[in-house]
Amino acid sequence: MKAAVYSRILEESQRKDVQVFFDELSRQKIKPVIFQSFFEQIKDNINLPADTITFSDSSQLNEEIEFIISLGGDGTLLDTITLVRDKKISIMGINFGRLGFLASIGREELRVAVKAMANRTFITDKRTLIHLDASVPLFGNTPYALNDFSIHKRDVANMIKIHTYLNGEFLNTYWADGLIVATPTGSTGYSLSCNGPVVFPDSGSFVITPVAPHNLNVRPIVVPDNNVISFEIESRSEQIICALDSRRELVSKEVQLAVQKEIFDVNIVRLNENNFLQTLRNKLTWGLDKRN
């Protein structure tokens, strides 16, 4: 079995756990294929198999690779989404960061996670992606996101007006600093911090959430994910910011933008013990009452 390994950086405090991880891969006879820049960081500090191979882009992830393992936080896992694309490669996130909502497997579960991968005693969750269409080329070969698409005013600009349509029918004009369209996965991220609702991963919906709206009666709304959501923007600035997850581009305010459900999903691996409700309770303290 082969598994790709992706990470951004090796910190000194992580070295011991990273060594445990690679030792367990070897013990379970899983051959690592390591992201090139990460390999360069660890090759002199971590004991690796002599025949370790590397990859540097998505095209080098072939059908022999069953998994890609993300070592880091949620941002690192989001990076792996751009590497996997539409390949049938499952993603396992091991949390070396802080919150670890998507990368839900803790460092203390390293050995258990690798054994589960080798024995295939894990659960795979299909997660919807959001796809961006634009009148100008944006985000190269990865115009999609796991969490959300968002439109923002530039820091130097005043509020913007975002005319929003569902399948061509007018929905609303948002006077705001920006607008988020979140997938169910992204409903627990940026959208949540802007008072958007939490929706279940299999709900088949998008959440449209304004950022700092200048209207008391404007609230987030949940819409079916079979809608095409399009936008027209008015701004005193000539440019706006478009974002897919953590990737951003400056574009002209005249750009035509629309989002819809991506034609492919991604598979996120979790251990049997970690389900969505438990993650809500453990990571976001859902229902926590200090009186009990």
163 and 70 within one domain: no
134 and 257 within one domain: yes
User: Taken in order 201, 207, 212, 217, is the CA torsion positive or negative?
Assistant: negative
109 and 214 within one domain: no
Report in angstroms the alpha-carbon separations of 61 from 72, 81, 165, 175, 205: 20, 13, 38, 43, 30
pLDDT tens column, 184-213: 999 999 999 999 999 999 999 999 999 999
pTM over the 0.85 mark: yes
163 and 253 within one domain: yes
Q: What angle do CA 8, 9, 13 make, to 5 degrees?
A: 140
Is 8's pLDDT higher than 80? yes
Res. 274 pLDDT band, cuts 50 70 90: low
Is 107's pLDDT higher than 90? no
Beta bridge partners of 209: 180
Supply the pLDDT for residue 144.
98
Task: Establish if 289 belongs to a structural domain.
Answer: no
Kindly report the average pLDDT of the chain as a whole number. Answer: 92
253 and 136 within one domain: yes
29 and 146 within one domain: no
List the catalytic residues: 74
Task: Establish if 291 belongs to a structural domain.
Answer: no
99 and 21 within one domain: yes
Task: Establish if 43 belongs to a structural domain.
Answer: yes
**The domain spanning residue 36 has which CATH number?**
3.40.50.10330
Domain with 98, as residue range(s), is: 2-127+265-284
% of the chain residues with pLDDT over 70 = 99
Task: Establish if 183 belongs to a structural domain.
Answer: yes
pLDDT tens column, 209-240: 999 999 888 999 999 999 999 999 999 999 99
Report d(CA 130, CA 183) in Å as an integer: 7
Task: Establish if 157 belongs to a structural domain.
Answer: yes
Res. 10 pLDDT band, cuts 50 70 90: confident
Task: Establish if 99 belongs to a structural domain.
Answer: yes
Which tokens hold the place of 231? 């936008």
Q: Is 97 left (phi over 0), alpha (psi -120 to 50) or beta?
A: beta
Is 30's pLDDT higher than 70? yes
Report in angstroms the alpha-carbon separations of 181 from 23, 192, 212, 234, 239: 41, 11, 14, 18, 20
92 and 40 within one domain: yes
Supply the pLDDT for residue 14.
85
**The domain spanning residue 187 has which CATH number?**
2.60.200.30
59 and 104 within one domain: yes
224 and 163 within one domain: yes
Supply the pLDDT for residue 60.
94
Report d(CA 38, CA 46) in Å as an integer: 11
Task: Establish if 111 belongs to a structural domain.
Answer: yes
* Structural domain total, the chain: 2
pLDDT winner (highest mean) among 112-121, 156-165, 202-211: 202-211
Cβ(20)–Cβ(42) below 8 Å: no
134 and 121 within one domain: no
Task: Establish if 290 belongs to a structural domain.
Answer: no
% of the chain residues with pLDDT over 90 = 75
Q: Which residue has the higher pLDDT, 109 or 68?
A: 68
155 and 142 within one domain: yes
